[in-house]
Chain A
Amino acid sequence: MRSGIFFLVAVVVAAIVFGCALAINNDYVFFAGYTVLQFIVLATAWNILGGYTGYVNFGSAAFFALGAYSSVFMHKFYPMPIPVLIVIAAVISGLVGLGMGYLTLRLRGAFFAIATLALAVVLQTLIVNWNYVGGSRGAYVVRPATVAFLGNYVHYLFLLMLGLAVIALTVARTIEHSSLGYGFATIRDDELAAEASGVPTLRLKLIATTISGALMGMAGAPFPYYIGYLQPSSAFGLEYAVNSIAMPIIGGTATWLGPLIGAIVLGSLQQYITVTISSSVNVLIVGLLLVIFVVIAPNGIVGLVQSILRRRRYERKPA
């Protein structure tokens, strides 16, 4: 299936999802759905670097917050429609991703992960001390009650995030099926052998950090409008860093489908738990699931299903 067709199918699925949400006609569905969609984008973005090239990024929250704070800045400086803000956020976080890659990609394994974590701390310190965007007090972003055509503003935000999810998934799948995807996989498997086969590993890694960072920033751009009041501790929240790692790992990191499934399962579960038990049990559940999956299904849900299917096929056709 070509990327164009995939994109169209994804748009149709997204339209159906939006139609269903409208049919339910409950604002909570849009609120909760927004969060789940946001995690689909974050998880997919993380997987482009973490899953395809094998570089574990612990600084997802930094890119997300960068997107959110670029919106806050523009909101105060020169208000613009959110789609424009998303593009601005993508450019800024993409550039920061490129810069981070350039500084840290000579590091491998745990050292790369630590460096990305440090980036998040540095950025958070900068934002806390930057008065213009609210500093540690936080910033209010009052969203209009309605928007043209759709009416309800929350519906509009939901639709935007749905669009971003479609874009993120299409980008991920296109990479997977292109020579770029093969290049990424060689980096994950063996960088030395990749270089010897002519793969420009440094350039590909920079492409991965840039795309991954840009998508995370896009996910963050509408966030101030969604939450209404943005403070550094919520934008740089631990849950973004943890979830964007946990969701691809639980879903499966090898394909675009993994982060999607992981985000839907884990994201919905978290929304359910937030309402029924408490919001602080969230991270506990994520931690537990992560441990369980790393032990019993290291290739995630997708990998688990694949291995079951393969075993069935063997049993049906005894060699």
Chain B
Amino acid sequence: MSANLLEVESLGKRFGGFIALDGIDLAVAAGERVGLIGPNGSGKSTLVNCLCGALGNYTGAVRFDGRNIGGLSAHQRTRLGMARSFQLPRPFASMTVADNIRVPLVYAVAARSGVHMTNEQIVTRSAEMLALVGLADKARQFPRDLTQVEMRKLELARAMAAEPKLLIADEAMAGLSHSEVEDIVALLIRLNQRGITVILIEHIMRAVMTFSQRLVVLVSGKKIADGKPDEVIRNQEVERAYLGQ
């Protein structure tokens, strides 16, 4: 196994004539906390979708855990240990919060190991996951009864329930209040301490700066900076991209 959990090599993606991603190289070491920033439309979500298999037909190579995962579908990548949360929460609306967590337990964890989980095991595990994000008392409610921040936590809990090696959190904090943002950042750091590599895609600079050990900047489909957060934000090119000339 190579030291890097995720290796992206000259990844490119175009939609018709529009080049959304242009030769992205990125390596993420196991256990790292990486922040990914960039202005709107810079290709952050496209990158996530290519990594997770929601978008196919990209050029270049993606290696995960030492294995080329090109051509694998989204659910196969999830089973390999790559989980994501969505920018806009996408809960399973007809199921209770606890049942939302049950899905990755049955379809990712049990399917990966090939071991059948008993109902008690599933109930215990989903209660653990919900306790981890602080939704334990909402287990029997439906997603429509949750607040925005609870919905984001459910999104993270569901991604975490798949027992990933790598978690990609796509704007998990957009639209949240100051204290709610801190809440989620603390949660993500807690997950990282359990040994999970995290890529955080975020607009809220305060959150990104607290969270990231390394910062990657995308601008119009190109990676323009990659390094220590405080150095990256002093980078001329980055300033120009964000503030204009």
Contacts and interface: CB of A to CB of B under 8 A. Distances in A.
A and B found bound together = yes
Interface string A156-190: 00000000000000000000000100110110111
B54 A194 contact: no
Residue of B73, B90, B108 with highest tally of chain A CB at under 10 A: B90
Contacts of B58: none
A195 B94 contact: no
Given A179-B107, A182-B103, A183-B107, A197 B162 contact: yes
A254 interface: yes
Nearest to A189: B92
Given A179-B106, A198-B78, A193 B90 contact: yes
A195 B75 contact: yes
Given A179-B107, A186-B103, A193-B86, A198 B91 contact: no
A196 interface: yes
Contact of A199 (B93, B99, B107): B107
Nearest 4 CB-CB pairings of A with B: A198-B108, A195-B74, A198-B107, A193-B90
B52 A196 contact: yes
A189 B74 contact: no
B86 A197 contact: no
A188 B107 contact: no
A186 to B, nearest CB: 5
B83 A196 contact: yes
A194 B103 contact: yes
Nearest to A200: B75
Interface in B150-207: 158-159, 162
Given A195-B74, A196-B54, A200-B75, A186 B92 contact: yes
Nearest to A54: B94
Interface string B127-169: 0000000000000000000000000000000110010000000
Contacts of A254: 94
B90 A199 contact: no
Contact of A196 (B86, B95, B109): B86
Residue of A183, A192, A196, A199 with highest tally of chain B CB at under 10 A: A196
Contact size range, B: 20 to 34
A182 B104 CA distance: 10
Nearest to B54: A192
Contact of A197 (B53, B94, B112, B158): B158
Main secondary structure of the interface of A (DSSP, over half): helix
B111 interface: yes
Residue of B79, B102, B106 with highest tally of chain A CB at under 10 A: B106
A182 B93 CA distance: 12
A266 to B, nearest CB: 24
B84 interface: yes
Given A183-B103, A183-B107, 5 more contacts: A182-B102, A183-B106, A192-B54, A196-B52, A198-B112
Interface in A41-73: none
B78 A185 contact: no
A198 B75 contact: yes
Given A193-B86, A193-B92, A182 B74 contact: no
Interface in B54-79: 54, 73-75, 78-79
Nearest to B79: A198
Given A185-B95, A192-B54, A198 B104 contact: yes
Contacts of A195: 53-54, 73-75, 78
Contacts of B102: 182
A190 B158 CA distance: 14
Contact of A189 (B52, B86, B94): B94
Contacts of A268: none
B91 A197 contact: no
6 contacts: A182-B106, A185-B94, A198-B108, A198-B162, A199-B103, A200-B75
A179 B112 CA distance: 15
A305 B108 CA distance: 36
Contacts of A202: 73
A197 B53 CA distance: 12
A201 interface: yes
A197 B95 contact: no
Interface in A194-232: 194-202
A190 B90 contact: yes
A200 B73 CA distance: 9
Residue of B78, B83, B84, B112 with highest tally of chain A CB at under 10 A: B78
Contacts of B86: 192-193, 196
Contact of A198 (B93, B95, B99, B111): B111
